[in-house]
Structure formats: structure tokens, C-alpha cells
Structure 1
């Protein structure tokens, strides 16, 4: 805490943490690019990959990207918090946003899985 009672992160620690977040963000982006490229290769090779499975895996990858991005953004915002009140506000906002996001993701994934199951159960002509 500073003399005026504000919460402060030393400048050197803030710089190190920001560099670490930048590295984590870059590593995550490279991971996603590789995963998407691999998924595309698998789809090209196998005519047996069903459209439903493709939708499910694409949506799951999108959710993973969104959730990790939100976590990285939250952590970075914490680095810039001016006091404990702001840290608590940021935490509350993050938890509420993640709960909404997870509920939406679960609902969407349920719909996609349901459609895929119905498509798989359709008689072949």
C-alpha cells in the first residue's frame, strides 16, 4: 500500500507480469492456430467425419478460446487495479460474466449435440 492507502503493484513486478501475460497470450494464439490447422487436416483426410462432430469440435474450440481470452483479460485488468475495491469489483464482474458465458455455452452445446444426434438417427436412403 502506498502512503495514501492505495494498493500498488511495484513497477518492476507489473512489467514482469505484463510481459508474462503477453507471452501467455502469444502462446495461446499459436496453440489455437495449430489446433485449427490440425482439425482442418483431419477433416480433409476423413470422409467419415460427420458434420455434427465437426460442429461440436468447432464450437468447443471457440468456447475454449473465448474462456481463456476472458481469463487473460481479467488477469491483465487486475494488474492495473488501483486499490482493493477495484480488485473486488473486477473479480465480481469476471465471475458474473463467466457464469453467463458458461450458461450460454452449455445451452448452445446442448442444441448442437441434440441436432447431431437427430441427424445421426435419421434413416439413410
Structure 2
């Protein structure tokens, strides 16, 4: 082909307009994708902060329960050492078991509320 033949070839205006419109649509779609991805990342960061706060509350409460339960067990063991007879040991044991059952039921209930609250905060829509 001659240079003259190349100069005569032109992209039709309709095709050029269609290509430009497609490019603009692709650019807008990409910009929308990036904007949505950034908003989602921000939302995930907020949710992570909420989840971390809930997990911290749960772990600190669990630690406090463990500490109290160990202290109660040590107090029970000390009272057994000081017991005068088998009847007193049986009474101390019965009181300890009853108090531990109540404490564990209360702790389980409270932990359930804490976990539920943390879960609700984690999925609560952010405004």
C-alpha cells in the first residue's frame, strides 16, 4: 500500500463515537468499583474495631470469672483444712457446690448477654 492509501483510511465517526462512549462507560464503572471498594474497606475497619472491643470485653470478663472461681476454690480448700469433723466437711462441700453452681449459672448467663451484645454491635449498620 502506498502512503496515499493509508491516509485515505479513517475510522468512521459513528464507530469513534461508540468507542469513546464505551471507554467513558468503562471509566465510570471502574471509578464506581473503586469508590465502592473504598467504602467497603472503611466499613470493614469499623466492624473490626467493634469486634475487637467485644472480644476484649469477653476475654476480660472470662478472666475475671476464672480468677473468682480459683479464689473461691482456694477458700473452699482452706475451709476444708480447718474442718473439725466429717459432718463439717460434708456441710462445707454442700455449700461450696451450691455456691459454685449458682456462680456458674450467673456467669454463663452474663457471658451469654455479653456475647449477644458484642454480636449485635458487630452487625449493627453504621450510619
1:51 Cα offset (Å): 1.3
Give CA-to-partner distance per residue, 1:86-125, whole Å, 9 cap, x none: 0000000000000000000000000000000000001234
The answer for the alignment partner of 2:115 in structure 1 is: 113
26, 32, 55: which one aligns with 2:57: 55
What do you get for the CA RMSD once the two structures are aligned?
Answer: 1.4
The answer for the alignment partner of 1:10 in structure 2 is: none
Q: After the TM superposition, which parts of structure 1 deviate over 2 Å for at least 4 consecutive aligned residues?
A: none
Q: Are 1:75 and 2:77 counterparts?
A: yes
Question: Please, which runs of 5 or more residues in structure 1 have no aligned partner?
Answer: 1-46
Secondary structure of the 1:107 match is: helix
Distance 1:64 1:50 in 2: 21
Aligned residue pairs, count:
79
- If each structure's helix is expressed as a fraction of its own residues, which one has the higher value? 2
Give the alignment of 1:1-125 within 5 angstroms: 48=49, 50-125=52-127
Question: Please, which runs of 5 or more residues in structure 2 have no aligned partner?
Answer: 1-47
Distance 2:124 2:103 in 1: 32
TM-score by length of 2: 0.59
Give CA-to-partner distance per residue, 1:21-51, whole Å, 9 cap, x none: xxxxxxxxxxxxxxxxxxxxxxxxxx95621
Give CA-to-partner distance per residue, 1:53-108, whole Å, 9 cap, x none: 11100100000000000000000100000000000000000000000000000000
